[in-house]
Chain A
């Protein structure tokens, strides 16, 4: 193990465990002692309707109503495009869309007033069908090789459909933002968020102030997982508009029901896959990928890009044609969630490969192994796998952990009795950092180190600690290079008034990309270090030389400079009487390069692994025929507890990346992606395999098992 990997006590440990950390809902007053007004949103009751009128109850002194007419700048939130309004326009496009906000000093009074608001609607037929939806926000096509010829010459052609459902991030701290007008006329916005500069751009535009007119601080944030990438920009604009109108600090914190129902989640998907097989080898893939984007485009463009680039999985398939559409429906806009489009397509290709192998009568592990991409092979976008692909060695490691190969064959034989077992396997990558040239062309990250006269050093960057530990790992890198005790290097929560834009806290990029900037800055600071004076060093992102430029219009080039890899195995026992699926063990090998702190990385792997298993099994969320999400509480939307997967084992495999700090690659998202297909393969195997029960969708719960078994003809 490298020195840098040795685990240290996290810098925010004491404050968090002692209950001293201040999350946005914890400020009793503002820092300057002002009372904070409570803001609550009026959410649309219909999936599509014209809003004819909003009638308010009489508002007591000190209570204010805010809507789009109060937006001093632009009522469009700047995300990727700008179709998302701050407050709704003439029509509402999904149930829950914010119409306006009621603001006042007493929460109980605001609640009462809210109950008295009457909104008159003229309802319009909503579009709620992913399969038949025709309005696509984004429609991408790419491929390579001669797909038609490969299908024409195939021994056999396979076609199948795969479905995945919503998944909610379910960070334990709900969404919350606060805005405070400052003496100098600036608007100070802070809260639970991942990307201070995204919020900065959005709020400046909504208030019409220009960038100097606002500054954004990330408060201590109780989890994000992608859910606090785009949404805080919207809520941030709403509280800023309310604070602008009232001239007073305004805070809005969602309750759990609002959060589950009305905030972004993972895109449901429908993938139609077609594979050509000749001489026992896959020769062509045609993938038609549809994501349910919801009512506004928010992050769907980039989520879909990552999803379709991963359409062939980690397999080397010579002829590929992919289409991807983000379909507009009148439902809550979907956004970012750990994995960012890739879990959906990896689920499809992994299940498809399992089914083709079963049809060919070969063990699916062997079949997949025959198709693993290798270093130097072409990627789906005609880039290259520039670095070694460690999957075969990782497969052996997982095999050693749980006798994967032996059990995979044994459980594939016919089983009888009430309890039946299965074990599933998956192998996936996660492209490290932004897709394509975003890092070079759009983000252009800058990070700084400021050394004070007393010899302490401050990291200046805009990446938020959302639990993944950058408040510890960033200083760790800097203290390592400067040979300073860790106490002398600090990283505060970023405030855009103080820190440069080192980019958002997304895409598993913070440590790999910004961490490397800080490492280089620290080396330069070491070289120019002078005792007793203040010094500053700045570093800018440079794309590594080996990267084949990526062209988004053709989906050509290196979509990612490198990849993190994982192999997962999940062993289950299905009770054929109750449908209950017990996870006997979940095993994973994860290559995220060098861990810059082993415990922190293992914590990411274990946490993501369990979220992936939840996604595959119990985390079910659906909307009804009116477009309303029914699973809006922890009673109806179940996430795993400490008892659900008692045996979850994550191991690290290290394939160093020369352009990441000490060899580190992106880590956070990887562990979620592989478990779902491994889980479903295990359940399918326990039920007797594809010929008896062909499974093609997640989540797959006990109810689904029972319904499926009831189909069985004795």
Chain B
């Protein structure tokens, strides 16, 4: 196959555009993955966060060349998992989703934390989410939802 090959939500794909193209633009415009939001395009807000090999990255600051051979996960892929369902339920129970714009990034930030730290403290959750701005909630509901998900989903992570 030609181009830059990588795994996107579990499928292997080859991107034939430039290696310098921005992952955020490619995900949104070429692959129609609109859960990945643009809040700043400068790496400061986390709305565009995706997982690359399980690590949280801001897609607006990643060039396509850098994902070659790697695994990219967005909420469109993640929402099919049991882990996502536990997180979604925990967020719903606390009405932690307001305008929703930060939420896909928040959910992936939570996954990035829980996969390395299945039983985090509140402080660890706050630190793990601190690259994701939420202007609506004041964070309490989101932080508590992640803590609850860690309890409810015991064994999943």
A-side residues, CB < 8 A to B, are 7, 9-10, 12-23, 25-26, 28, 169-174, 220-225, 255-256, 466-469, 597, 599-600, 602-603, 605-611, 633-635, 639, 641-643, 645-646, 648
Chain B residues numbered 80-95 whose CB sits less than 8 Å from any CB in chain A: 88, 91-95
For B107, give the chain A residue with the smallest CB separation.
A17
Q: Which residues of B contact A468 (CB under 8 A)?
A: 98
Digitize B114-157: 1 where CB-to-A-CB distance is under 8 Å, 0 elsewhere.
00000000110111011111111111111100000000000000
Q: Which residues of B contact A224 (CB under 8 A)?
A: 99
B97 touches A12 (CB 8 A): yes
Distance of A287 Cα from B140 Cα, bound (Å): 38
Total number of residue pairs linking A and B with CB closer than 8 Å: 168
Partner of B123, one of A606, A634, A646: A646
A17 touches B138 (CB 8 A): no
Given the contacts A171-B135, A607-B137, A634-B40, A13 and B101 also touching, CB distance less than 8 Å: no
Shortest B131–chain A CB gap in Å is: 8
Shortest A325–chain B CB gap in Å is: 31
Q: Which residues of B contact A12 (CB under 8 A)?
A: 97, 100
Which of B95, B103, B137 is the most central at the interface, judged by chain A CB atoms within 10 Å of its CB? Answer: B95
A22 touches B103 (CB 8 A): no
Task: Tell me the dominant secondary structure on chain B's binding face.
Answer: loop
Given the contacts A634-B45, A635-B44, A642-B139, A19 and B126 also touching, CB distance less than 8 Å: no
Closest 7 CB pairs of A and B: A19-B35, A16-B100, A222-B101, A467-B99, A606-B138, A467-B98, A634-B44
Given the contacts A172-B45, A634-B40, A603 and B101 also touching, CB distance less than 8 Å: no
A172 touches B135 (CB 8 A): yes
Q: Which residues of A contact B136 (CB under 8 A)?
A: 172, 223, 467, 603, 607
B39 touches A9 (CB 8 A): no
B-side residues, CB < 8 A to A, are 28-29, 32-42, 44-45, 47, 74-76, 79, 88, 91-104, 107, 122-123, 125-127, 129-143
Q: Which residues of A contact B132 (CB under 8 A)?
A: 642
Given the contacts A635-B42, A646-B122, A17 and B104 also touching, CB distance less than 8 Å: yes
A223 touches B88 (CB 8 A): no
Q: Which residues of B contact A635 (CB under 8 A)?
A: 42, 44
B41 touches A255 (CB 8 A): yes
Distance of A380 Cα from B66 Cα, bound (Å): 63
Distance of A83 Cα from B106 Cα, bound (Å): 41
Q: Which residues of A contact B133 (CB under 8 A)?
A: 170, 172, 634, 639, 641
A466 touches B39 (CB 8 A): no
Q: Which residues of B contact A221 (CB under 8 A)?
A: 99
If A28-B32, A642-B134 are given as contacts, then 8 extra A-B residue pairs at C-beta distance below 8 Å, sorted by A number, are A18-B35, A26-B34, A172-B45, A467-B100, A606-B138, A606-B141, A642-B126, A642-B129
Q: Which residues of B contact A466 (CB under 8 A)?
A: 99
Q: Which residues of A contact B137 (CB under 8 A)?
A: 603, 606-607
B141 touches A603 (CB 8 A): yes
Q: Which residues of B contact A609 (CB under 8 A)?
A: 138
A17 touches B32 (CB 8 A): no
For B146, give the chain A residue with the smallest CB separation.
A642
Given the contacts A7-B95, A466-B99, A172 and B34 also touching, CB distance less than 8 Å: no
Query: Would you mind naming 22 contact pairs between A and B with Cβ atoms under 8 Å apart?
Result: A13-B95, A16-B97, A16-B100, A18-B88, A19-B33, A21-B100, A23-B34, A171-B99, A172-B101, A172-B102, A172-B134, A173-B39, A223-B98, A223-B99, A467-B98, A603-B141, A607-B98, A609-B138, A633-B42, A634-B44, A634-B133, A645-B138
B95 touches A597 (CB 8 A): yes
Q: Which residues of B contact A173 (CB under 8 A)?
A: 37, 39, 99, 101
Shortest B101–chain A CB gap in Å is: 3
Q: Which residues of B contact A603 (CB under 8 A)?
A: 95-96, 98, 136-138, 141
Partner of B135, one of A14, A469, A607, A646: A607
B138 touches A633 (CB 8 A): no
Q: Which residues of B contact A20 (CB under 8 A)?
A: 35
B126 touches A643 (CB 8 A): yes
Shortest B74–chain A CB gap in Å is: 7
Partner of B101, one of A223, A610, A641: A223
Shortest A60–chain B CB gap in Å is: 20
Distance of A26 Cα from B131 Cα, bound (Å): 23
Distance of A466 Cα from B75 Cα, bound (Å): 22
Q: Which residues of A contact B139 (CB under 8 A)?
A: 606, 610, 641-642
Partner of A222, one of B28, B100, B126, B127: B100
A172 touches B96 (CB 8 A): no
Shortest A447–chain B CB gap in Å is: 23
A13 touches B34 (CB 8 A): no
Distance of A603 Cα from B74 Cα, bound (Å): 26
Shortest A432–chain B CB gap in Å is: 21
Shortest B1–chain A CB gap in Å is: 25
Q: Which residues of B contact A633 (CB under 8 A)?
A: 40, 42, 44
Q: Which residues of B contact A641 (CB under 8 A)?
A: 129-131, 133, 139
B41 touches A19 (CB 8 A): no
Distance of A113 Cα from B92 Cα, bound (Å): 45
Distance of A220 Cα from B97 Cα, bound (Å): 13
Shortest B114–chain A CB gap in Å is: 15
Distance of A711 Cα from B74 Cα, bound (Å): 52
Distance of A169 Cα from B133 Cα, bound (Å): 13
Distance of A170 Cα from B102 Cα, bound (Å): 12
Q: Which residues of A contact B127 (CB under 8 A)?
A: 642-643
Shortest A159–chain B CB gap in Å is: 36
B135 touches A17 (CB 8 A): no
Given the contacts A256-B39, A467-B98, A611-B135, A606 and B107 also touching, CB distance less than 8 Å: no
A222 touches B99 (CB 8 A): yes
Partner of B74, one of A17, A19, A170: A19
Distance of A608 Cα from B135 Cα, bound (Å): 9
Given the contacts A607-B138, A635-B44, A600 and B95 also touching, CB distance less than 8 Å: yes
Q: Which residues of A contact B99 (CB under 8 A)?
A: 171-173, 221-224, 466-467
For A614, give the chain B residue with the smallest CB separation.
B135
Shortest B106–chain A CB gap in Å is: 9
